[in-house]
Amino acid sequence: MIELHPGDELDLVTADGTPLTRLQLGLGWDKERTAGFIGTGAPDIDLDASAVQFAGGQLFDLAFYNHLATRDGSVVHLGDNKTGSGAGDDEAITVDLSKVHGPVDQIVFVVSSYQGHTLEWVNNAYCRLIAGDQPEGEGEEPVELARLTLTGGVPETGVVMAKLVRAGDRWRLRAIGSGVRLTKPSDAGAALARFL
C-alpha cells in the first residue's frame, strides 16, 4: 500500500503492467471529539461521498446518495452513512473503468457536508483505493493500493479527495486533498472546475 500526499499520482496497473479495470474507493472520517461549544462535543455530521464524471471539462454524470449509479453503470455508490460512526469505510464507491463512457476523461471523488458544516468538525478523513481485479477467494483480503489521509479538519464544507484521469487506454489516480465549498453533489460542476 502506498501512502499518498496531495499532488501524488499512481498509475492504475497491475505489477505486470496490465491496466486495472475494477476499483473500489473507500471513504471514511471521524467526528472531531473536542469540537463544539464549551467542550459539549461536535454535532452529528452527515457527510456524503460522491463521484463526479467530467468529459472535456464539462459535468457528464455523477453517483451519490440520491443517484446511486452513473448512466453508463461504471460508477456505483454503495449507500449512505449519515453519522460516520463505526470502524472501516463510511461510504464506498465502485468503479468499472472498462464501462466508463468514451468521452469521460476524469472522475472526481469528493466528500461534502449535507448540512453545511465545515469539515473542521471531522478528523482523519481518508480515501483508499482498493483493487477489484484480484481473484476472488474465501478469506481473501482486498488489496489496498493507496491511501490519502487528511489529519486535520478543513475549513470548507467539502473536500476533493482524489480524481481518476484517463490517459489513452489507462487511468491514473491523482491525490488532491483540498477543501471546496460544496454541500449538494448536484452543484459539483462549477465547484470542481478548478480541479480539472
CATH of the domain at 75: 2.60.60.30
If one compares 47 and 193, the residue with the highest pLDDT of the two is 193
Number of structural domains (the chain) is 1
Q: How far apart are CA 165 and CA 6, in angstroms?
A: 15
Structural domain boundaries, residue 171: 2-195
First to last CA, the chain: 26
Residue 108, C-beta contacts closer than 8 angstroms, at least 6 positions apart: 51, 52, 54, 160, 162, 163, 188, 192, 195, 196
* pTM for the full predicted model: 0.86
Nearest to 126 by CA among 106, 107, 144: 144
Q: How would residue 80 be classed by pLDDT, with cut points 50, 70 and 90?
A: low
**81-121 pLDDT, tens per residue?**
655 555 678 889 999 999 999 999 999 999 888 788 787 77
Provide the pLDDT for residue 101.
Answer: 96
Q: What is the 3-state secondary structure (H, E, C) of 103-115?
A: CCCEEEEEEEECC
Q: How far apart are CA 58 and CA 124, in angstroms?
A: 31
